[in-house]
Amino acid sequence: MQFSDAHYKALAIEAIRQAHPTAVTATFETSDQNYYGFFLTGLIDSEGEEIEPTDAVQGEVNEYVEGLDWDGVMGEDVHGYASVELRER
């Protein structure tokens, strides 16, 4: 069964929420692939402090987002960066 990009993004966000409940924002960058693929670059808590993602969650999240189209659900900017809100601040 093939899932949509939105479904894979939702799986990635849920994995982050479960592993890092204090994180409110996840940051991503585009990969070096041809017009698809992201990787998790960091997490930010409600105080604006950076949280280091665990290796396990980073690996799981990257599996979900490595095949997403660049011009898709992540909302990246012209420089290839995306920030995703995980919960209300």
pLDDT digits (tens, 9 = 90+) for 13-36: 999 999 999 999 999 999 877 778
The number of domains in the chain is 1
Residue 71 has pLDDT above 80, yes or no: no
Q: Is 10 helix (H, G, I), strand (E, B) or coil?
A: helix
pLDDT digits (tens, 9 = 90+) for 73-84: 998 998 889 999
Cβ atoms within 10 Å, residue 87: 12
Q: Quote the domain boundaries for residue 76.
A: 5-85
What confidence tier does 89 reach under pLDDT thresholds 50, 70, 90? low
